[in-house]
Amino acid sequence: MAIDSLFKDEATEEKGERARMASFIGAMAIADVVKTTLGPKGMDKILQSAGRGHSVTVTNDGATILKSLHIDNPAAKVLVDISKVQDDEVGDGTTSVVVLAGELLREAEKLVSAKIHPMTIISGYRMAAECARDALLKRVMDNKEDAEKFKSDLMKIAMTTLSSKILSQDKEHFAQLSVEAVMRLKGSTNLESIQIIKKPGGSLRDSFLDEGFILDKKIGIGQPKRIENAKILVANTAMDTDKVKIYGARVRVDSMAKVAEIEEAEKEKMREKVKKIIAHGINCFVNRQLIYNFPEELFADSGILAIEHADFDGIERLGLVTGGEIASTFDNPESVKLGHCKLIEEIMIGEDKLIHFSGVEMGQACTIVLRGASFHVLDEAERSLHDALCVLSQTVVDSRVLLGGGWPEMVMAKEVDELARKTPGKKSHAIEAFSRSLQAIPTIIADNAGLDSADLIAQLRAEHHKEGSTAGIDVISGAVGDMEKLGISEAFKVKQAVLLSATEAAEMILRVDEIITCAPRRREDRM
């Protein structure tokens, strides 16, 4: 007895060859979307949302582009995921990882059509990835011991990361900012104590790094504008008790005098609370919630600076930076940990007034203020800077450095090619394909710059057959250049993550031989 259909109506299944084709095509299409953003001459994409306000994002960050796409193809989703993970893990290389995975699948498609089993391809890819990683490990440089050299390594890495982004025109300035900010972290990879504030106006070059903490708020009326040796209480508590707080409570009174009594009782309650807060011996009170006029007046009378509505990120970071804890009850002052800083004052950036905390407990904290022509520019600048900060903070921990500009890919490709020649059997085809995929990255970098990629890659390959070559693609002069002289460096951790994630993602998609799509859920007619 033949079963007509195993699945519900409208559920679809693709089997064997068709399923494989669908996943290959989806993955390659995704790689082609972000391909043009690779390298120093990569172009940007405009993403327009379909939501309210049709917000527009201009970006060339692979992860941001892919996050914003709504994708139907299941294999393409795997690639979107690896780019997200790459972004969270090391911050940079989000485009490279997708492009490499796409190229691996493009090569795998040719092998599959030549009747090589996917499992053979996978084991070939595994061997090739191991070999490529070892090739990089042989050639890494590590200057952790020499502080001067290490700092110049960090500068080079930052400049290389930024050169493919919107900040490429002022990359020295921004590389300096990000290296200084990361050096202050003293080896921690927690970027929370680096705060980035975006203020439209001026040009990108006007951006600066400020030691200390800037809170995007104004100082209230009649309060001290400058406080030295501040003791700060960071709180998350309601300072607006002139409403009855019990939901749905109704109070009936028989005369206006009674209303006045209720109001007085509420004021008294507030006065008590403010007294308790003042008893902590503070001269600055930062609250996450509203502070009404009456308590604000009481604070001003005691010469305490009260800041209301400090957004949650702001107050968490402020607590972290000044060494205070966020309090919500004030009955026992001795158990509350206050924050300290040397000076609080009001500063102007562009048109806006902000509050500046300097000389904070945690010397690691700093604020980068970005200036720029419009919000789109600022958002993209923030993403670029975030990439650079992530890569640098990872490099401080794992200080191994490689040259950039297509050099690592050529080194890996050369070693992988040699492995293919030594390996018997069908696996050797897969290993050779892996080496071709690696060379695709420098090819695409050259294509994006409008150079003759076939000629350049042939020259590069010839250069790399000499021992200890440092040749890579110099996009600016449009020829093969010496990466060491040009100071183009990349973090080993980024390259390793790109290599391993792309190989694993390609493996995963190669294993697929059936795609089953569920039937869409129907809304029952409620008539």
Instruction: Say how far residue 505 (Cα) sits from the centre of its chain.
Output: 21
What is the rounded radius of gyration, in angstroms, for the C-alpha atoms of the chain? 30
* Separation CA 200–CA 198 (nearest Å): 7
Hey, what are 92's tokens?
């940079």
Active-site annotation holds for 443: no
CB 158 within 8 A of CB 179: yes
Angle between helices 94-113 and 74-89 (to 10 degrees): 140
- Residue at 162: amino acid letter: L
Active-site annotation holds for 367: no
In which element (H, E) is residue 47 found? strand 45-48
Which 3 state secondary structure label does DSSP give 352?
strand
* Separation CA 280–CA 278 (nearest Å): 5
Active-site annotation holds for 95: yes
CB 370 within 8 A of CB 349: no
Q: Which of 87, 153, 170, 387 is labelled catalytic?
A: 387
Q: Which of 57, 59, 61, 153 is labelled catalytic?
A: 61
Active-site annotation holds for 301: no
Q: Which of 95, 161, 395, 423 is labelled catalytic?
A: 95
Backbone angles phi, psi at 244, to 5 degrees: -75, 125
CB 213 within 8 A of CB 303: no
* Separation CA 229–CA 405 (nearest Å): 50
Name, in order, each residue with C-beta under 8 angstroms of 26's C-beta and a sequence gap of 6 or more: 71, 73, 74, 75, 76
CB 102 within 8 A of CB 32: yes
Q: Which of 37, 59, 94, 470 is labelled catalytic?
A: 94
Q: Which residues are catalytic?
A: 61, 94-95, 387
